[in-house]
Structure 1
Amino acid sequence: MKTFNIHEAKTHLSRLVEEAANGEPFIIAKAGKPLVKVTALAADGKPKVQRLGFLEGQFLVPDDFDELGRDEIEDMFGVRE
């Protein structure tokens, strides 16, 4: 990640903001000390959360998944086919 001093950031602010919006965040420093990190915001202001598919390919579901434990479950509920 690139670091720019305040004067340099002021001089090139438009370009730096455009780059940050395109996924290249940067840091603004004063006297060599980092002060702020500039990053792009999500379109709606909230971070994008991906819930579906985040474990894809991590495990296999057996073909008989819906049959596993069937006898025990039927015994617990007193149901037999």
Structure 2
Amino acid sequence: MEEAISAADANRKFSHILRGVREGQSYVVTSHGKPVARIIPADEKTKVPAAAREALLSRLEAQPIVQAGRWTRDELYEDER
């Protein structure tokens, strides 16, 4: 569960926030009521890219290989207007 905290409060209570993060708490830092940053446990951040990478690789492995042939640089950047 994320807790919203203003930037000013985050500045004043930084050690308290770090203690909460160590215990698994996440925070959304706001400025003038709008979210500007997220403070999350360090290991939580790496889970999303790893899961996304695995999903992408499994999807790519399932796709058939397409033999597109060779093309020139001009053909790649050809304007189709």
Q: TM-score, normalised by structure 1?
A: 0.50
Identity %: 13
Number of the residue aligned with 2:15: 14
Number of the residue aligned with 2:39: 38
Measured after TM superposition, the shift of residue 46 of structure 1 is 4.5
Q: Superposition RMSD on alpha carbons, in Å?
A: 2.1
Find the residue that maps to 1:7 and give its secondary structure: helix
Larger relative helix fraction: 2
Return closer, same or farther for 1:46/1:34 CA change in 2, 3 Å cut-off: closer
Distance 1:35 1:3 in 2: 11
Q: Is the 8 A contact 1:21 1:41 kept in 2?
A: no
- Structure 2 spans left out of the alignment, 5+ residues: 51-81
Greater Rg, structure 1 or structure 2? 1
Q: TM-score, normalised by structure 2?
A: 0.50
Encode CA deviations 1:6-40: one digit per residue, 9 max, x unaligned. 11110100011110121010110000000111011
- Structure 1 spans left out of the alignment, 5+ residues: 50-81
Find the residue that maps to 2:9 and give its secondary structure: helix
Letter in structure 2 aligned against 1:29: T
Q: Is the 8 A contact 1:9 1:16 kept in 2?
A: yes
Number of the residue aligned with 2:4: 3
Q: Is the 8 A contact 1:21 1:39 kept in 2?
A: no
